[in-house]
Chains A and B, each alone.
Chain A
Amino acid sequence: MSLDRAARERLVRALAASMIEHAEELTSLDQAIGDGDHGLNMKRGFEAVLATLPGLADKSLPEMLKAIGMTLVMKVGGASGPLVGTFFMELGKALPEQLTRADLIAAADKAIGAVKLRGRSEAGQKTLLDVLVPVQAVFAGGGDARAIAAEAAQAADRTTPMLATRGRASFLGERSIGHMDPGSRSASLLISAAVAALEFEATS
């Protein structure tokens, strides 16, 4: 698998569009159980990423992912900046320029491990890890783009009845139950946007 320049730019634009289009929804999820800035923060971060095009897409895929991560770290402004930014940076660091599916699976494993360390968290605490971990299992198990996107959406839904024990929502204790985790929703949206953009490459 390799992504040419046009495909890399399409991937960046798809990721950014998913955050910009869903900014209000993410913010309203975050108003329920957090500090109400997640949509705005992610939108700001990805607008900053878009502003680094076209140069961003001139980079190799690993370098591009690292650059996206760094921009998110610097611009998002909430805990999700370092968390999502770390995912992209570590994914970039772990990927070779010419990658196979196995490379991507191994790199995603490392990136998820880095997110766990950064947040000192594990799956089950009502955070983005509750999407990343099950989606990775489907991906590593051979799931296609559709299966990955479906698992991402379902995993985000499954955070609704969970009790938050990490992140701002954990302050609410049991009142965090009954609301979808905003970070899980944004992770799910990013994954869906990525696989849709990549599937287009695989089939075109």
Chain B
Amino acid sequence: MSNSSSGNVGIVIVSHSSKIAEGAADMVRQMVGNAVPLAWTGGDTDGGLGTNVAGILEAIEAAWSPAGVAILVDLGGAETNSEMALEMLAEDRRARVVVCNAPVVEGAVIAATESSGGSSLAAVKRSAEEFYA
């Protein structure tokens, strides 16, 4: 996990595999450096393949930005667990977190690139989702 203190939209990467999540985060960093708060999480609570709500909540916290946080997910469980995590956030934060319907690696890179230019949360989400629409 890593972050930066910029006011840009934060990016959270959620994969069933911690290696995929970490690798995707490496690719994002290569594109945008430290201009975007970034965190990743992957694996179940025992370290196996899967996703877990506690890990996602921690990642949202680590990538938190007043501009909001965009979450990129891989397969179904990552999405379901991310939506669950989102609902468990305090109400004022919940409205500023979105799950993007986009491929995890490409979506994360595009979302981060958009965010690095100071775009809004809605614009970041739209960019990630439009690329493969």
Name A residues whose Cβ lies closer than 8 Å to a Cβ of B: 35, 37, 40-41, 44, 73-79, 81-83, 85-86, 118-119, 167-168
Contact = CB atoms under 8 A, between A and B. Distances in A.
Interface stretch (B7-15, B21-29, B40-48): B40-48
Contact of B75 (A40, A44, A77, A168): A168
Nearest to A117: B83
Given A79-B77, A82-B81, A167-B76, A37 B53 contact: no
Given A41-B44, A77-B44, A82 B50 contact: no
B52 A77 contact: yes
Question: A-B pairs with the 4 shortest C-beta distances?
Answer: A77-B44, A79-B77, A77-B50, A82-B84
A37 B48 contact: yes
Contact of B81 (A35, A40, A81, A168): A81
Given A37-B50, A74-B52, A167-B76, A79 B45 contact: no
B119 interface: no
Interface of B: 16, 44-46, 48-54, 75-77, 80-81, 83-84
Nearest to B77: A79
Contacts of B44: 37, 41, 44, 76-78
Interface of A is mostly: helix
Given A41-B44, A73-B84, A118-B84, A81 B49 contact: no
Contacts of B75: 168
B121 to A, nearest CB: 22
A35 B44 CA distance: 13
Contacts of A118: 80, 83-84
20 contacts: A37-B50, A44-B46, A73-B53, A73-B84, A74-B52, A74-B54, A75-B45, A75-B52, A77-B45, A77-B46, A77-B48, A77-B51, A77-B52, A78-B44, A78-B50, A82-B83, A83-B80, A118-B80, A119-B80, A167-B76
B54 to A, nearest CB: 5
Contacts of A79: 76-77, 80-81
Nearest to A75: B45
Contacts of B81: 79, 81-82
Nearest to B76: A79
A178 B125 CA distance: 39
Nearest to A86: B84
A78 B52 CA distance: 7
A37 B49 contact: yes
B49 A35 contact: yes
B117 to A, nearest CB: 32
Nearest to B47: A77
